[in-house]
Chain A
Amino acid sequence: AQKITQTQPGMFVQEKEAVTLDCTYDTSDPSYGLFWYKQPSSGEMIFLIYQGSYDQQNATEGRYSLNFQKARKSANLVISASQLGDSAMYFCAMRGDSGYSTLTFGKGTMLLVSP
């Protein structure tokens, strides 16, 4: 069984500052994938960034980077230079072991960016 834990129900950050959203995971699979998705109030799940368990380097996508610490089983999302449009729910997710791209999600963190 796989488990994703996001311990921050809500986070506040000022515009242009950096913010870290925490995610820890648990799995017995030797190979797995970790994802971050953004969900605005409109409902769509927007893919942000992916980290494979065997990737040597931390993933980066524009203002998003993933701080992957395998030994600690953590995959924190770092958003640099926050923008007002970053206000949304953020989900950490793990690819399931079914062989499909099924996702197990954490409970999410609501990020609010203030001017």
Chain B
Amino acid sequence: DTEVTQTPKHLVMGMTNKKSLKCEQHMGHRAMYWYKQKAKKPPELMFVYSYEKLSINESVPSRFSPECPNSSLLNLHLHALQPEDSALYLCASSQKTGGTEAFFGQGTRLTVV
């Protein structure tokens, strides 16, 4: 099973809402990642978790709050987002920190209204 599952696939939220994106993998990977991809642009790294601990935060605004409750799950909590935060949010995982390819989920398309 080389699958990374993201839910929901689509999300529309207001600027005052609180919502969460979920990512799950059962490949035994110990590194998980969040990327943000704006339309017609490449993905950009947001966060890296290694062994359930936040290892990299690419200066992401605090309205994005990641959480890794266990080695298979990665959440991204959203609060007070802006319309410019509308994007495709991609989760990825890799077997170990460095050296191997990252497997991506199919993403959550987020629209902030």
Contacts from A to B (Cβ < 8 Å): 33, 35, 37, 42-47, 50, 91, 95-96, 98-103, 105-108
Contacts and interface: CB of A to CB of B under 8 A. Distances in A.
Contact of B50 (A91, A100, A103): A100
Contacts of B101: 35, 47, 50, 101
Contacts, number: 66
B42 A101 contact: no
B42 A107 contact: yes
Interface string B101-112: 111111101000
A17 to B, nearest CB: 26
Interface of B: 31, 33, 41-45, 48, 50, 55-56, 88, 90, 92, 94, 96-107, 109
Contacts of A91: 42-43
A106 B42 CA distance: 7
Contacts of B98: 95, 99-101
A100 B32 CA distance: 10
Contacts of A96: 45
A71 B43 CA distance: 27
Given A45-B90, A50-B101, A105 B43 contact: yes
A100 B106 contact: no
Nearest to B41: A107
B109 A103 contact: no
Contact of B104 (A44, A50, A107): A44
A104 to B, nearest CB: 8
Nearest to B98: A99
A103 B90 CA distance: 12
A47 B103 contact: yes
Given A35-B101, A50-B101, A43 B48 contact: no
Given A33-B99, A47-B101, A106-B42, A101 B94 contact: yes
Nearest to A107: B42
Contacts of A106: 42
Nearest to B94: A101
Given A43-B109, A45-B90, A98-B48, A103 B43 contact: yes
